[in-house]
Amino acid sequence: MEILKRNNVVVSGNGDHAMMFAHGFGCDQNMWRDVYPSFQENYKIVLFDHVGAGNSDLSAYCFEKYDCLEGYAQDIVAIAKVLNINDGVFVGHSVSAMMGLIAANMAPGIFKTLILVAPSPAYINQEDYIGGFSKSEIDELLESLNNNHLGWSMTMGPVIMGNSNKKELGEELANSFCKTDPEIAKHFARTTFLTDKREILGDTKLPVLILQCSSDIIAPIEVGQYMHNNIPDSTLVIMSATGHCPNLSAPEETVLAISNYLYGQ
């Protein structure tokens, strides 16, 4: 199928139901390498790269389509339909968490559970909402990326990863940022950091697990609490993990939290 090639979809595992993993900004499906194997026995694992990331078809990137998260959500729905996914589990990291919420509303029935890892519906502080950044800080971040993609990547990779005792992970994230086509990276960053999807949280009809890192420069604890307070059937787990990528820095804790939620252990 064309879409499976376009998004570099990889399917494995033995379960009757699917577990789809979606990566965040500047990353690819490899970011789940230490998490998904733990679920292969019970689920059909679906990994993919967003168009513009990893080994996806870069020629399929459409600036108009991907100017909003709905464009990415449409791809998630399309992949699910091609693979005949029903009552699946969606696991989304960072901005992909919001894509999962949108996709679930677009196509009821493809997912039965949503697992959101370090999610945020809005990154900019507004009135009594704490998103983590002022508007001027986001503008500065985007301007820095626009002016020097490689320099921004090498600086921000370790900052976003956190866990200074695991420098190799910060370097990996920085290199992942660097590999992304600069124009696509700039566009995806704007789509990510200027998004405000707080209004859709209350429309979520599925059970949701929110995995919130105890210290995260991109999505502070207040964001996780806000999402928990506004998503009707949600469970919030504050992890011991720090940084924005617990799927890499704390895969064992991430697996345990997901397993406890899915299996009730």
Q: Which one of 149, 153, 244, 249 is the catalytic residue?
A: 244
Read off the pLDDT of residues 28-70 as tens digits, 9 standing for 90 and up: 899 999 999 999 999 999 999 999 988 999 999 999 999 999 9
Q: Which one of 56, 94, 153, 234 is the catalytic residue?
A: 94
Q: Does any domain span residue 102?
A: yes
Catalytic residue status for 75: no
Global model pTM greater than 0.85 = yes
Q: Specify whether the CB–CB gap between 99 and 76 falls below 8 A.
A: yes
Catalytic residue status for 203: no
CATH of the domain at 227: 3.40.50.1820
Sheet holding 18-22, edge to edge: 10-13, 44-47, 18-22, 88-93, 111-117, 208-215, 234-242
Residues composing the chain: 265
Q: Specify whether the CB–CB gap between 186 and 213 falls below 8 A.
A: no
* Degrees to nearest 5, angle at CA 45 with 202 and 177: 75
- Cβ contacts of residue 3 below 8 Å, gap of 6+? 9, 75, 78, 79, 82
Q: Which one of 28, 49, 75, 216 is the catalytic residue?
A: 216
State the total domains in the chain: 1
Q: Does any domain span residue 150?
A: no
Q: Does any domain span residue 159?
A: no
90, containing H or E segment: strand 88-93
Alpha helices in 130-220 (DSSP H): 135-147, 149-161, 167-179, 182-193
Q: Does any domain span residue 49?
A: yes
Give the C-alpha distances (Å, rounded to integers) separating 20 from 89, 117, 129, 204, 214: 6, 13, 30, 18, 25
Q: Of 54, 59, 46, 53, whose CA–CA distance to 2 is shortest?
A: 59
Q: Distance from CA of residue 196 to its chain's centroid? A: 15
Read off the pLDDT of residues 88-127 as tens digits, 9 standing for 90 and up: 999 999 999 999 999 999 999 999 999 999 999 999 999 8
Q: Of 174, 137, 138, whose CA–CA distance to 156 is shortest?
A: 174
Catalytic residue status for 16: no
Range of the domain at 64: 2-122+197-263
Q: Does any domain span residue 176?
A: no
Read off the pLDDT of residues 164-212 as tens digits, 9 standing for 90 and up: 666 676 566 666 665 678 888 889 888 998 999 999 999 999 999 999 9
